[in-house]
Chain A
Amino acid sequence: MNRHWLKLAFAALIVSAFLQTGCKGDGKKSISDDIEIPDSIFNDKPLMISKEAMEDIIDNISSPVEMAALLKSTGTPFSQKLLASTSRIDDLNTNFKQALNLGVYGCDLGYLNMYEKTGSVITNMTAIKTLSNELRIGQFFDFSTIKRLATNNENLDSLMYISVSSFNNMDEYLRQSNRGNISSLIVTGMWIEGMYLAAQVAKDAPQEEIIERIAGQKLVLNDLILVLKNYKSDANFADLIEQIESIKKEYEAVKITYEMAEPEAKEVDGMLIIVQNDKQHIDISDETLSSIIGVIESVRSKIINL
């Protein structure tokens, strides 16, 4: 009888373990076979900021869809040549390179979805699938559904939702499973690519909204550097921090001032609409903008040619 119960308990544990790993991947184990990001980075050394604070910061940074939406809303036409090539996937042979470029392709996916370029979505998704599988987080992407929606050009809102929520879920999982280093790289890649897209548009056809969005990212830079510095003992991270700090240096000339005022609120069709009356003035010279664009191009080039 005891043996029967033992067998039953053992079977239940196996099923449980299988469900856990099958649904969510195998946590930090995937890092241990990556020679460039050893476990010691996050296991042996305390984080400079708390895990909660880091999650909070990372949550704030990635919104490639908003940048793409801004570009589209200003009437900027789609440009395939702005996107990162997916031909170098096989050269991305470490978790560091894979995670950074996964962020880049994730941002490009948002751009493609925004402009409803579903044909290119499949090529982009193939790259994302390869990289996310290498990083053992491929389970968060329902590739078959995304491919079906893209191929049939159907329900593009769903395509956008599935794409964005897949990245959100993947990011949440990475941080919960002590793989914040990978999460921080994906977010950095996304941010750089979003900035690159905006910078190229600003370079060719400067528009106030886009320039202000680029300049406003000054507020994000410190947080991004703070997160990356948690892993600065790794040479690759140290080099990346140096590159991001070179961007920050160019932002020093950007001045942001505020005029505060009381917000107004009114109910319209059952929805409360809050209108903020604060004003934000962003002062950025053509020279500063040009310098920022130049350094963004340089950093982005290094990432996609790692």
Chain B
Amino acid sequence: MKRILNILIVVFIVLGSNNTYAQSDELVNVCALGIGNATYLKDYKVKLSASSVSPPSAKFNVIMNKGTMYKITVCNAEGHAGEAVVALMDNASTLGTNLKPDGTFVKAVGFQCTKTGMYSINVSFKDGKEGAAVAILSYINMK
């Protein structure tokens, strides 16, 4: 009997995880609607646990092209305490972040690229809280 119950628990966990995927896809769709006058390129789904010692982060490498204006839009998932902090990096140096010095957030981060190459988008959650979010990379047509 206990074994059967364990099987059922596993089944419901599996079904539950499917639901989580569906929720993150839904968040991508909603977030993509809010990118304004930009064209969607990629999305990055992030879910991180809380940590006060060494706040975890997720890193995504992306090649950006000279002459293109990129835009990174972040949407936080409901039901999670964390607010996503997204930083655009060129090797080890931070080019910019959506977190302002006063602790508030900008709506999006734009990047006028003048050098084709590998950049990275780092996502963590403010104050090391647990959180789930989606970052959408898009480009803005300047002409």
User: Footprint of B on A, CB under 8 Å?
Assistant: 2, 5-6, 8-9, 12-13, 15-16, 19-20, 23, 56, 59-61, 63, 65-66, 69-70, 73, 157, 160-161, 164-165, 168-169, 209, 212-213, 216, 219-220, 258, 263, 265, 267-280
- Name the residue among B32, B61, B115 with the largest chain A CB count within 10 angstroms: B115
A280 in contact with B63 (CB, 8 Å) = no
Closest A-B pairs by Cβ, 9 of them: A216-B116, A274-B96, A270-B107, A280-B115, A273-B110, A12-B11, A60-B63, A5-B4, A272-B106
Chain B residues within 8 Å of chain A by Cβ, number: 50
In angstroms, Cα B112 to Cα A283, docked, is: 22
Beyond A60-B62, A165-B40, A270-B107, 5 additional contacts (C-beta under 8 Å) are: A12-B12, A56-B60, A63-B65, A271-B108, A272-B98
Interface residues of chain A: helix, strand, loop or mixed (majority): helix
A63 → B minimal CB distance (Å): 6
Q: Which of B89-143 contact A (CB under 8 A)?
A: 90, 95-98, 100, 106-118, 139, 141-143
A212 in contact with B111 (CB, 8 Å) = no
Ordered by A's residue number, 5 sampled pairs between the chains whose C-beta atoms are within 8 Å are A9-B7, A23-B18, A271-B109, A274-B112, A276-B112
B77 within 8 A of A: no
B15 in contact with A19 (CB, 8 Å) = yes
B15 in contact with A9 (CB, 8 Å) = no
In angstroms, Cα B11 to Cα A216, docked, is: 49
Contacts of B1 on A, CB cut-off 8 Å? 2, 5
B65 in contact with A66 (CB, 8 Å) = yes
In angstroms, Cα B25 to Cα A237, docked, is: 33
In angstroms, Cα B8 to Cα A165, docked, is: 34
In angstroms, Cα B39 to Cα A6, docked, is: 51
A120 → B minimal CB distance (Å): 19
B110 in contact with A272 (CB, 8 Å) = yes
A136 → B minimal CB distance (Å): 19
Task: Kindly supply a per-residue 1/0 record for chain B positions 64-78, scoring 1 wherever the CB is within 8 Å of any chain A CB and 0 otherwise.
Answer: 011110010000000
B40 in contact with A271 (CB, 8 Å) = no
A58 → B minimal CB distance (Å): 11
B11 in contact with A272 (CB, 8 Å) = no
Q: Which of B3-19 contact A (CB under 8 A)?
A: 4, 7-8, 11-12, 14-15, 18
